[in-house]
Structure formats: structure tokens, C-alpha cells
Chains A and B, each alone.
Chain A
Amino acid sequence: MSSTESIIARCQALFDDLDFTSAREWKAAEAGRRVVGYMPIYVPREIIHAGGMLPLGIVGGGEQLEVIHGDAYYQSYICRIPRSTIELGVSGRLDFVDGMLFPSICDVIRNLSGMWKLMFPEIYVRYFDVPQNYTDSIGGNYYRNELQELREGLEEMAGIKITDEALRRSIAIYNENRRLVRQVYEYRAKQPWKAPAAEVYLLMRAGLVLPVEEHSQMLQDWLAAVEAEDRPMRDNCRVVLTGLFCEQPPLNLIKSIELSGCYVVDDDLQLVTRWLTADVPQDGDPLENLALAFLHHSESTSAKYEPDEKEKGQYLVRTVQRTGAEGVIFASPSFCDPALLDRPMLQHVLKAANIPYIAFKYAENSGQMQPIREQAGTFADSIKLWSEA
């Protein structure tokens, strides 16, 4: 049986590898294989998978990538993820990627889809729109047709057919992967000292670049390994991290939060791995099933419209209650419109529910952790004092 250490070491290697060697090797292993990249927040990976292709999550360049040409495309008041993504593109690091999907998350990523069309005309590029209307016959119908268009686009790109049968199989495989991801999250919420936030993060990051079957195996192995190991419990408070659904924080930032006395018991990092919150039915029309799952059983986040004013932000309160968290940390990338515009509303909801919170901003290449350590440490101390009072 592998230890958590060896599993995480592999994840770390995947995380550090900006050339995506593992995905390149997967592609090279068989003639005709295709890789489809996607950005946050969510794409229906089942459709890509059902076409025998590898969905590859691309979430910027992290803190190690030197961005030169990417900066030439963006003003200083725009977040960093599109710059580093362009840098990955123009530096040839994505030259094995056959298609790119740009989800509907904000205007920056939306516009990047058109930039990609102009800059890389030889590959399949799609802006993947999702409904902001949650009525089955309206938003559901629209979305089912969008999924069908995506399916046809991928078929044409790869010169294959994506059958309903293959889609159902892929749905089953991803259902299992999501179940395992949820298990990891539940495990951590119960025993956060045994599942450090940075390790869970790396586990999920691996899911962006590995074939899903391999990732599911990895999650199973980790769950078994972590159960068998013992780690000391510290007197930390328990927090939920929110606002990190797109541009990723440096790994050091996640570590710093935990080192400063806050166990992370939930977060909105790598939402794509658990976007759908319930199993997607495996019989019937697979696209319809995916569409309805999106409408009625998907995560809430700042990039989605909340039609019911009374429901605004309640998902955060429920997460806090479900995980036994004692506070919320709002961490968002600088210049992130969805997160920063939403933040005051979410904070009002938390205030009404008596849940303490702090807030700060980061960039994927933030170099200074000291202010964050101080803030998180103070937050942990105040929560402890507050709960003892």
C-alpha cells in the first residue's frame, strides 16, 4: 500500500510540471488521442471523456512561471490567470492541446476565448456558456442544446462519434470520482489534522491532469493510507475558505493559513471536481441528465446567478454548519470581479448568521505570506477567545 507521502509526492510533481508531461505521455501512448483543455469553473468533462479524449484542467501558471508575453496582453488592473495562461500558450507548453474550453465565469475569461481563437486558429476553441435561468423548459432546454453543440464540435474535431452509450459510461465513471472527492472532503472536515489543506489541494489538482480512472484510484489509495497513519492534532480553529474558485493561490498561502492556526474544513478550490453535488442519473438521455444536474444539483458560487434573494449566500452558511467551521476566510484574487463584487453580500449573510470572517486578496504569484500569516493567526486567536468567552 502506498503512503500518503508517496501519493502527495506524485501530486506535487504533477503540480510543479508546467509542461504537462503526464498528459503529453498519455497522448503519445496511442495514435489519435486528443487532449481538451479547460479553464475554471466547470465544464462537463463527461462529454470529452466519452469521446476517448483527456480533459485537461488549466488553471494558470502558478508562482513559478515567469510571465513575459502574457503581460503584453493585459493591463495592470486585470487578474493574473489569463496572463499566465497566455504565457503557457505562447511558450509552447500547450502545443499538444487540441481544444480549449473557456467557461462562463467572468468577462476576462470570456474574452480570452476570442483571444485564443485569434492566437491559436488551428485548434478547436469554444466559449462554453451555461444558463443563468434554472427553469427546465427554458434554461434546461437551452443548456441541453449547448451540450449537444459541444458534443458535435468535439466529434468534428476528433473525427469520431460520441454515442449516448459512451456518455452514460463516462457519467458513471465521473459519478464515482465525485463520490470519492466528496469523501476526501468529508474526511477532512471530520479530522482536518489528518488531512492538511495543502495535501488535499494537491490531490484535487492531480484530478485536473490525470485520466479520471487513475485519479479515482489515487483518491481511494489516499483514503486508505490516511486512515492507517497517525498525525498529531493541534489546537487550531476550523475555517471555510471561499473566493478561490478561479485563479489559484500559491501553495504557500494554503500552508500559511493552516500554519497560522486555521484548519481548512471546506473550500471552493477546484470546483470542477465536485461541481455536481449529486450523482447524475445513468439512464435516459445523458445530455438532459447533465443539464438537469447543472440546474438543480450544482455548487453555488459567485459566478452564478442566485434567482432567490432569500437564498443569497445561504450555501456558505450551510457549509459552515455542515463542516462545524467556526469562521470563514474570504480569499480572492486581486481584480476578480465575481468574487469581489459578491463579497459584501456574502459578508452580510454571514454577519446575520453570527459567523466571523476575515478577507484578503492574493495573486497566483504572491510572494509575501507574512501579512496573511498575521491575519489568519489573529483570526484563529480571536475565534478561540470568542468561543471560550
Chain B
Amino acid sequence: MKCFIGIDLGSTTTKAVLMDGNQHILGRGITNSRSNYDTASRVAKQEAVVDTRMTLCRRGLAGAAGLEDGLDDFLGELERSFRLEQFLDQLGDLEATCKTQITGDRFAGVEKEVDAALVAIFDELRDTAPALFAPGAKRKSDFFRDIAGAHYLQVAEKVAKEAGLPYELLLNVYDKSIIDVENRPPSEDLTGKFVDALVRVLAATSGDGRDAGDIEQRVKDALAIELEETFVVGTGYGRVTLPFSKEHIRSEILCHGLGAHMMYPKTRTVLDIGGQDTKGIQVDASGIVENFQMNDRCAAGCGRYLGYIADEMNMGLHELGPMAMKSTRSVRINSTCTVFAGAELRDRLALGENREDILAGLHRAIILRAMSIISRSGGITDQFTFTGGVAKNEAAVRELKKLVQENYGDVTINIDPDSIYTGALGAATFAHRAVEDGAAREGVQA
């Protein structure tokens, strides 16, 4: 079938959205951005394809005997099983790559020991992998580099101690390898992994009234549907580096505007706060950008600022919002300058202000900057849509709601949990339009 794909190459994550000819979203994919943009966009695209296959499986399995009530559970199992396959595959690649690093003076005389240590580490990683993808297992991140990295470091420390090897050696091997592994194009054999995953799931659940043969056939049919890449549009911060020709590139401003319109057709104003920039966008009734403003040269008040604060406080980025929510009185923070953020923070802490209140003030400061950018782009008209990484932060959302109310009165505020895909959705829609408009034009000419 015809597929239209949008890829949003952000500074921290790369997103992809895949839609069909009727503009229905079939799949979404996300991965961490990396030095090789091409790989990042391929991985994101592949993830969207995986998600699409799951959607097609869901459609194909509708009405399958013995799955009447258990479809969700079954699909969950299938996906976890697939993810495990995928993880093991990447782990194999990482292990092979690590082993090639054991050369040079650093390893002189301990090559064998390091090799043995790597075998021990990766055996353990493989043994513990299924637990990572067990039902209800909590993962801090779904990106391979994060999962594998965290576990490798844990296990390597233990193994290094037992083997009497310097931990740095094993660390060095990993650091060098992960970059190579990350920047290699992903392996393409999805169908094989899905089939392996399916076999495993069916084996584990045999004898619970399911018609395994029927299910297997239906899944295989879903996997056999050809997904034709009809048109791809790239957008985002790294779009210029994509190996795409001009007609396949759109500015992220336009994509964000259109993406927000697709999610909420009544949207007139969009605020996107990403890692490096904040955008205020005004769109018309059909999602066409009327006006936009971005933060100026400095990244004051963008998501990156929260990153600095988190580092400064030794906290995870996702912990900032909840802590700020505990505040009882907000401290006024005047500087949204990332350079001064740390200093101001220390100053405040030294003055005896408590962390919750300072954080509440910081969140307010960020949103104040964003409000200025919106104001610059022409203010807020009903409806207002908030997107980007910071839209996931409840403390930021709380301040935004307050400030919108104070400055613009009662306005409907849309925040979609999947708002991180807004830009990619806009790009996919542009991909669809490029073909449809072209077809329409040809129709006119004919």
C-alpha cells in the first residue's frame, strides 16, 4: 500500500510518522539523534514501520478465534517479544564491535582477559534481557544506547573486579563501540524478527484456546503487506543534512503548524518548546502558517535550560517537574540565561530558598520567555496547542495555563501526549499533499 512518511530530525530525538493514503496514522517511531543523521532518520523510520506492522497485525487479528478478549494482551506480548529480538540482535552487534577494539598499547598483555570479560558481560546481558521486556517491566528509556549502556556499566564493574581488570578498560571499549553501533544503519530484517517473536509467543501460550495456526497466518499476512515508501518529507533541525532533495524538505515551522492542525483542526496558535528553540506559530483554518517567531540567538528559556538545571541539581530531567509541583511559593527567577542558570541557582540555595520553590520559579521563567515569543508572533487565539518535550512537564504546563488565563482569558489549551510527533506528523501530511496535489494538478492538465 502507499505510505507517506514524515521524519523530524530534532537535536535530541528523531521522530517518524507513517500514514496511509487516507491520512490515517499507522505508525510512529522515535530514536535518539546521533552524529550520523542519516542513520538516525533510518532508525526512526524503521521504528515507525515496526509500529505500523503492529497496527496491521491488530487489524489482521481482529476476530481471530480465541483472541476475542485477549487481543491487547497478545499484541503486547508480541511487541515485547519483538523488542527482545531486536535488542538481542543489537547486543550481538555491540559485542562483536567491542571485541574489535581490543588492540593497541592499552590492552597489551591483557587481550585475552578483556576478551573473556566481554564474553562474561554479554552473556549476562543476554541472560537478563528477557526480564527487561517482561510484562510490567519498567525501563527508563526505550533507546538501545540507554538500556544497553546502563546494564553494561553495571555488569562491567562487577566483572572487572572479579577479573582484576581496570574498569576503565572495559568502559573505553564500550564508549568506542556504542558510537559505531549507533551510527550503523539498522538491520533490515524485520519480518524475520517478527516471525521469531511470534513463534516464541505462541509457544509460551500454547493450549489456552487460541488457534495458533490461524493467528500465525493472520500475522504473516499482515507482515506480507507491502509498505511502499510513496513520498518522504524531512524536517527539523538536522533536515539540511538529510540526503533528500529540496522538494522532500520542509521547514519545521510549517510542519509544526500543520501537525498541530492535524491533531486539533481548530488550532490557531501553537507553542513548541524544544531542546534548542522555542517557536510561536500562528496558523489559519487549514493549518497554513500565518506568522511565526523563534527565540533569538540564545537558547534562553528552552528545554536545554532545564537540562542544565537538572545537571546542576544532580537530578533527572523528568524529576524536575514533579519536584516543582511540590512548591508552595514560587521564587522569582529573573535569568533564563543557560549560562547563568547554575550561578543563580547556587545563589538562591545559599540564600536558604528551598529547591521546590526555586524549581517552580525556574519553570515560570521558562514559560515567561515562551509567552514573550508567542506575544511576538501575534498572541494567542483560541485554540492554543502546546507541543514539544517541555509539554510533558507538568510544572511547565501549570505555569503556562496560569499565564494564558491571565493574559488571554479563557482559551482552550490542547496538549497531546504524543505531541513529540507533531513535526513528523506535519511532514507526513506534507508528503501526502505533495503526491495528492501533484495528482490533482495532473488531473487538471489531463
Interchain CB contact under 8 A, A71 and B375? yes
Partner of A368 from B300, B340, B373 at Cβ < 8 Å: B340
- Closest Cβ–Cβ distance, residue A62 to chain B (whole Å): 11
Say yes or no: is B284 at the interface (Cβ < 8 Å to chain A).
no
- Closest Cβ–Cβ distance, residue A93 to chain B (whole Å): 14
Say yes or no: is A75 at the interface (Cβ < 8 Å to chain B).
yes
Say yes or no: is A365 at the interface (Cβ < 8 Å to chain B).
yes
A363 to B340, CA, bound (A): 14
- Closest Cβ–Cβ distance, residue B373 to chain A (whole Å): 8
Which residues on the B side are within 8 Å of A368 (C-beta)? 335, 340, 343-344, 347
Interchain CB contact under 8 A, B334 and A365? yes
- Contacts A76-B297, A368-B344 given; indicate if A68 touches B334 (C-beta within 8 A): no
Which residue on B lies nearest to A71, using beta carbons?
A: B372
Say yes or no: is A63 at the interface (Cβ < 8 Å to chain B).
yes
Query: Which of A67-92 touch B at CB < 8 Å?
Result: 67-73, 75-76
Interchain CB contact under 8 A, B344 and A72? no
- Contacts A63-B334, A75-B296 given; indicate if A68 touches B403 (C-beta within 8 A): yes
Interchain CB contact under 8 A, B340 and A76? no
Contact residues on B (Cβ < 8 Å of other chain), bracket? 20 to 34
Which residues on the A side are within 8 Å of B343 (C-beta)? 368, 370
Which residues on the A side are within 8 Å of B375 (C-beta)? 68-69, 71-72
Contact residues on A (Cβ < 8 Å of other chain), bracket? 10 to 19
Which residues on the A side are within 8 Å of B334 (C-beta)? 63, 363, 365-367
Say yes or no: is A149 at the interface (Cβ < 8 Å to chain B).
no
Interface string of B233-268 (1 = CB under 8 A from A): 000000000000000000000000000000000000
Which residue on B lies nearest to A370, using beta carbons?
A: B347
Interface of B is mostly: helix
Interface string of B296-308 (1 = CB under 8 A from A): 1110100000000
Say yes or no: is B169 at the interface (Cβ < 8 Å to chain A).
no
- Contacts A367-B333, A367-B335, A368-B347 given; indicate if A68 touches B372 (C-beta within 8 A): yes
- Contacts A68-B368, A68-B372, A68-B407 given; indicate if A76 touches B296 (C-beta within 8 A): yes
- Contacts A367-B335, A370-B347 given; indicate if A66 touches B368 (C-beta within 8 A): yes
Interchain CB contact under 8 A, B300 and A76? yes
Query: Which of A100-132 touch B at CB < 8 Å?
Result: none
Which residues on the A side are within 8 Å of B297 (C-beta)? 76
Say yes or no: is B401 at the interface (Cβ < 8 Å to chain A).
no
- Closest Cβ–Cβ distance, residue B431 to chain A (whole Å): 34
Which residues on the B side are within 8 Å of A370 (C-beta)? 343, 347, 350
A71 to B407, CA, bound (A): 14
Say yes or no: is B371 at the interface (Cβ < 8 Å to chain A).
yes
Say yes or no: is B99 at the interface (Cβ < 8 Å to chain A).
no
A70 to B372, CA, bound (A): 8
Query: Which of B298-347 touch A at CB < 8 Å?
Result: 298, 300, 332-335, 340, 343-344, 347
Which residue on A lies nearest to B372, using beta carbons?
A: A71
Which residues on the B side are within 8 Å of A363 (C-beta)? 334
Partner of B372 from A67, A366, A369 at Cβ < 8 Å: A67
Interchain CB contact under 8 A, B335 and A71? no
Which residues on the B side are within 8 Å of A68 (C-beta)? 368, 371-372, 375, 403, 407
Say yes or no: is B58 at the interface (Cβ < 8 Å to chain A).
no
A72 to B280, CA, bound (A): 11
Say yes or no: is B392 at the interface (Cβ < 8 Å to chain A).
no
Which residues on the B side are within 8 Å of A63 (C-beta)? 332, 334
A106 to B407, CA, bound (A): 31
A176 to B261, CA, bound (A): 65
Interchain CB contact under 8 A, A76 and B344? no
Say yes or no: is B210 at the interface (Cβ < 8 Å to chain A).
no
A295 to B123, CA, bound (A): 89
Which residues on the B side are within 8 Å of A72 (C-beta)? 372-373, 375-376
Query: Which of A130-178 touch B at CB < 8 Å?
Result: none
A68 to B301, CA, bound (A): 13
Partner of A71 from B298, B332, B369 at Cβ < 8 Å: B369
A75 to B372, CA, bound (A): 11
A76 to B375, CA, bound (A): 15
- Closest Cβ–Cβ distance, residue A315 to chain B (whole Å): 33
Query: Which of B333-389 touch A at CB < 8 Å?
Result: 333-335, 340, 343-344, 347, 350, 368-369, 371-373, 375-376
Query: Which of B40-57 touch A at CB < 8 Å?
Result: none
- Closest Cβ–Cβ distance, residue B124 to chain A (whole Å): 49
- Closest Cβ–Cβ distance, residue B362 to chain A (whole Å): 11
22 contacts between A and B (CB under 8 A): A63-B334, A67-B368, A67-B372, A68-B371, A68-B375, A68-B403, A68-B407, A69-B375, A70-B372, A71-B376, A72-B372, A72-B375, A73-B376, A75-B296, A76-B300, A363-B334, A365-B334, A367-B347, A368-B335, A368-B340, A369-B347, A370-B347
Query: When A and B form their complex, which 3 residue pairs have the shortest distance between CB atoms, in order from nearest?
Result: A71-B372, A72-B375, A72-B376
Contact surface of B with A, Cβ cutoff 8 Å: 296-298, 300, 332-335, 340, 343-344, 347, 350, 368-369, 371-373, 375-376, 403, 407
Given A63-B334, A71-B375, A370-B343, 9 further pairs, Cβ under 8 A: A68-B403, A69-B372, A72-B375, A73-B376, A368-B335, A368-B340, A368-B343, A368-B344, A370-B347
